[in-house]
Structure 1
Amino acid sequence: MTTLVVCLDRTDDVGRKTGLRSPVVGWEAVRALVTDVGLADPEDSGVNTLLESLRVAQNLRDENEEVVVAVVSGDHESMVSADRAVAEQLDDLIADYEPDSAIVVTDSAEDERLIPIVESRVRVDSVDRVVVRQARDIESTYYLLKQFLADEELRQTVLVPIGLTLLVFPVLATTVGPAMGAAAITTVIGLFLLYKGFNVDEFLTRFAHQTRESLYSGQVSVVTYVVAAGLTFVGLFVGALAVSNLGDTPGFVIPATRFAFDSVPWLAMAALTASAGRLLDEAIGDDPIRTSFLNLPFIVVAVGLVVRGFAAYFLEQQDVIDSFVVPAYELGILSNEQFVMGAGERLALFVVTAIVVSLVGARIASSVSGSNDAAERSDGGSDTTLANGGTATASGGREPDPSADAGANSEGDPVPDVTDPERTDGGADANANPDSDGDRDR
């Protein structure tokens, strides 16, 4: 069993400091290389890496294993050329010595990037990373910072806010004072953290993508969404105007109730318009209409009626609005005098109407969904042609061919009745042997 102990040097530090070309193979050659590299740069950690390679090879020899120790270097011009140079040298080593496994010795995270190249050519049993004891924490911190700075998303998320803070705080401190400047900066940082924490950026990206797809596909919901937005603004304006007409009303409950009472009809119309547009898109499409889209308009109307009814009840109790008056009418034999409806009666009327609307919506949605399921089942069946010209449906039924003769087959022979009790009992055994009388055993 031959083991290859290979020391990796991706940036060709050994070649640049000693002038030697890699690969350097053999115990004596690597031992001499340690002296050359140490004399050229005593502070280089590559000296420790070479010594570690010799130590690992010596331990394996003490265990009576055949060992080949080698130093493989890349190219300092570019990372691609360095990796290709290492791959070529490994191919030559494997072709010359035919190792069964390899032990990789490195001194940095940069050299460890070559491990997949080694693994693609020979089995790697161990990876030995050499870190100088005095510089272990410093080197680990260095590579962590280097990896952090190489990530573009982390740089934009962390370094950009810190840089903007360091630039803006002196300006705010000289204009509005240190306290106001610190408060403004912490507010902005808090909003930014919430923005990233709730994935608002992904939501906005997804919303923009869906909006663009809707515009390009010509969906009706695009227009209805714009109309719904306009109705929403109208409802908010009407509610705010109603609150402003209350004057100096103490407390918060009555203004909020008044706002809901006046804005709910417009907000309900906005939601109804948006849901109607989405329902039209579903109806135009090829897929069946989903139950949720059918039931949504009725739910919107029902919720609007309930909110309007409760808001009217509280406002009437506080004498903010007048009672509901049913005017007198006379239609033939039907006539009614003027009727004043109380707050409780008005609330009951709105709640009952909302329940009726929701039940009607659920009924319509279930009926449409049932018809769609029945249509899919009827379309999904397949007919199978029988021997007598009839067809068998997917449910197992049998339909006779009306054009075929019910009493004869294609050769003119009579066809037995399918209701024959012997046939329904299982029929005759087609493989029964004839007896001495010429009859068949059943």
Structure 2
Amino acid sequence: MAIKVKIMEALAERTAVIYVDIDDDLGRIGVQTPVIGEKDAFLAIQKASEAIPDDSDFNAMVVTLNLYKKLKDKGNVEIVFIAGSEKGGIEAQLRLSSELDDVIRRLGITSAIVVYDSPEDAKAIPIIQSKLKITGIQRVIVEQYRGVEETYILIGRYLKKVITEPRYSRIFLGVPGIIFVIGSVFYILGLASYLLPAVLLVIGLSMLVRGFAIDDMIERWWQTSTIMVIVGILSLISLIIGIIQGYVTGQSLKGSYVYVSSSIANAMLPYLTFSVVILFAGKALENAIEKNIRVWHDLIKIAAIIVSAYMISSALYNIERGIYIIQAQLFYTLSVSSMIIIMTYIALTIIEKYKLT
């Protein structure tokens, strides 16, 4: 295989021939990374030859070893295998970066020749480039035969990935599983006419969650702040209940557009308010546990939200009764509560600055 390597530049440096496995296929077969040195690399390849002999990762490991053998007599070269995480995304990149830092610390390398076998692994190149000078890059492409038998083997390999790897199974098994369950429940309850919207909702939410990496964000939240995950779930439940309550209210009312709209908004408002308040309450609780003085910021926000919800609810109630002019009592309540919140915020800000200094 052709490789663009500036060998003459590499000879004067401490260089590592690095195989990158960002989705940690090595970990799944029991190979602990980072793998450093020819002996350990050979043992890892032997294990891979038994577990994944027809996988492109195995071929890439062999290419890395052969490349190392070609260069080791011509300069100061070492062989290294590093991996990320099977969860993919940021977590995989962070783990790979951490392993690379460990390798650099232990070997004192200054440059690298990178070997990889998939577009996903290519995400490691900028990470390596930010820490080392890359003097060569080799992508290993395994040629596939076009026979029917080989095609079935290839399909079977990808199906195995879909079933065994969580980052694929969540999409290809989890989402269809939810759709089948919803379909069965809807048919049992005689709600087949609502099946298509429900299926589209599930698919749309799945695309939204995966597209914006919301699942990764929730996972990071869970690892760093269990409290915020719990209040986030409660907030979502309250939001869903509020939407349902608004829908039920709208279906049961008849009258002018303004009356129906204000009634729906008033029915949803308590749940929407709780949905927001509990998020700030969770943050306040987290700050209180950590003895963070800024906990009062969250308490001020909660107070402001509650006052705002009360004012909006009163205004909507007046609109339902056909009163479109803001009453003096409502105006005075808004003015006084706003002044109290603002003055409290200013006073606590001064106290916080005084304590910090």
Whether TM exceeds 0.5 here: the answer is no
Alignment TM-score, normalising by the size of structure 2: 0.43
Larger Rg over CA atoms: 1
TM-score by length of 1: 0.36
Higher relative contact order (CA 8 A, sep 6+): 2
Greater helix proportion: 2
